[in-house]
């Protein structure tokens, strides 16, 4: 059978972070499965349309990529999403895979980064080790996207994992849905850190990181915290830049392929 690998991401219009995160993930996954021809798809129709209209980049939807692979003669397909958790965007992938399942001789779907407490604990350790230089008199605040569709609130689970690891100064909030920004502000007021380091808990450091987190607008996290008198430093690195987390995605794909 002719084998294919489809790496599915949400997408980003920020080229710099795309290269460092999405493309880094694609390269790691392609290297892990050299026998498979690699393809790309993004689930965000808005970003795909924006880049297509500007002429900057042409990226398939999941359905378009699958049609392309069928036309190329792919019969054995492994699909690995780079989404953070099983929310609405991952749901788009599962729906497409189900619709195409009968058209491939073999079709396997890997899981997103966070699917259970073991994943959360592993990610917590990676972040704790990566940012071990953040002192106890400082704070690391993670900005997640938020999801109404995920069955579990992985952001709250991650915050709990940090507390269990004696890292109460590692805090988690979201742009949308629960828990929102409030846990970050509450922790800052309680702990009174000498510096708050803001980090996007997203695969890419894209629009949310640049604007909602680090932007100069008065409603960005950085602006709101500075207004409260805190010193703030923004770390514009997406989770896809960390090799240990990319390795977790590779392992997800290996598990799916072995089923």
Domain that holds residue 194: 117-238
Same domain, 35 and 52: yes
Question: Are 165 and 250 in a shared domain?
Answer: no
The mean of the pLDDT values for the chain is: 96
**Catalytic residue positions?**
145
pLDDT band of 150, cuts 50, 70, 90: confident
Q: To the nearest whole percent, how much of the chain has pLDDT over 70?
A: 100
**How deeply is 226 buried, as exposed, middle or buried, from its count of CB atoms within 10 A (0-12, 13-18, 19+)?**
middle
The pTM (predicted TM-score) of the whole model is 0.95
Confidence of residue 151 (pLDDT cuts 50, 70, 90): confident
Give dist(CA 257, CA 95) in Å, integer.
19
Q: Are residues 123 and 233 in the same domain?
A: yes
Do 105 and 177 belong to one domain?
no
Q: Let me know whether 158 and 176 are in one domain.
A: yes
Q: Tokens 């290297």, residue?
A: 31
**Confidence label for 149 from pLDDT (cuts 50, 70 and 90):** confident
Task: Output 29 or 259, whichever has higher pLDDT.
Answer: 29
Q: Which two tokens stand for residue 63?
A: 């359905």
Same domain, yes or no: 223 and 122? yes
Please, are residues 173 and 183 in contact by the beta-carbon 8 Å criterion?
Answer: yes
Whether residues 41 and 104 share a domain: the answer is yes
The number of domains in the chain is: 2
Whole-number pLDDT of residue 57: 94
pLDDT at 193: 98
**Sign of the CA dihedral with 75 first, then 104, 22, and 129 last:** negative
Q: What is the mean pLDDT of residues 180-205?
A: 97
- The mean pLDDT of 123-151, rounded to a whole number, is 95
Q: Indicate whether 170 and 107 sit together in one domain.
A: no
In terms of Cα–Cα distance, which of 238, 245, 202 is closest to 84? 202
Confidence of residue 152 (pLDDT cuts 50, 70, 90): confident
pLDDT of residue 148: 85
DSSP state of 59: -
For residue 31, pLDDT beyond 80: yes
Kindly report the number of other CB atoms within 10 A of residue 141's CB atom: 27
| pLDDT recorded at residue 17 | 96
Residues 252 and 225 both lie in one domain:
no
Q: How confident is the model at residue 119 (pLDDT cuts 50, 70, 90)?
A: very high
Q: What integer is the mean pLDDT of 55-71?
A: 97
Q: Indicate if 127 and 224 belong to the same structural domain.
A: yes
pLDDT at residue 239 in the model: 98
Q: Answer yes or no: do 59 and 166 share one domain.
A: no
203 & 126 share domain: yes
Residue 34 has pLDDT above 90, yes or no: yes
**Please, where are the H alpha helices in the chain?**
15-20, 22-32, 45-54, 62-71, 88-100, 117-130, 154-164, 182-191, 207, 221-227, 243-258
Q: Does residue 1 surpass a pLDDT of 90?
A: no
Q: Note the pLDDT tens digit of each residue in 196-254.
A: 999 999 999 999 999 999 999 999 999 999 999 999 999 999 999 999 999 999 999 99
Write out pLDDT tens, residues 78-87: 999 999 999 9
CATH number of the CATH domain containing 245: 3.40.50.1400
Q: What is the 3-state secondary structure (H, E, C) of 224-248?
A: HHHHCCCCEEECCCCHHHCHHHHHH
């Amino acid at each position: 059978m002719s084998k294919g690998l489809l790496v599915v991401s949400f997408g980003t219009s920020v080229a710099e972070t795309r290269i460092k995160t999405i493309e880094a993930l694609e390269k790691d996954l392609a290297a892990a499965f050299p026998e498979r021809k690699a393809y790309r798809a993004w689930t965000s129709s808005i970003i795909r349309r924006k880049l297509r209209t500007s002429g900057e980049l042409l990226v398939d939807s999941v359905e378009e990529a699958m049609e392309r692979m069928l036309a190329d003669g792919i019969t054995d397909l492994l699909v690995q999403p780079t989404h953070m958790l099983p929310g609405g965007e991952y749901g788009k992938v599962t729906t497409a895979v189900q619709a195409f399942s009968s058209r491939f001789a073999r079709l396997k779907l890997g899981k997103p980064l966070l699917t259970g407490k073991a994943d959360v604990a592993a990610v917590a350790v990676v972040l704790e080790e990566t940012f071990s230089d953040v002192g106890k008199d400082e704070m690391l605040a993670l900005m997640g996207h938020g999801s109404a569709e995920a069955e579990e609130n992985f952001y709250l689970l991650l915050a709990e994992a940090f507390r269990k690891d004696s890292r109460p100064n590692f805090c988690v909030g979201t742009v949308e849905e629960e828990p929102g920004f409030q846990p970050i502000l509450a922790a800052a007021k309680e702990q009174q850190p000498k510096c708050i380091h803001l980090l996007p808990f997203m695969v890419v450091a894209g629009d949310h990181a640049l604007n909602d987190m680090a932007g100069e607008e008065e409603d960005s996290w950085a602006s709101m915290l500075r207004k409260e008198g805190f010193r703030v430093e923004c770390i514009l690195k997406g989770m896809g830049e960390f090799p240990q987390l990319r390795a977790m995605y590779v392992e997800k794909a290996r598990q799916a392929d072995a089923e």
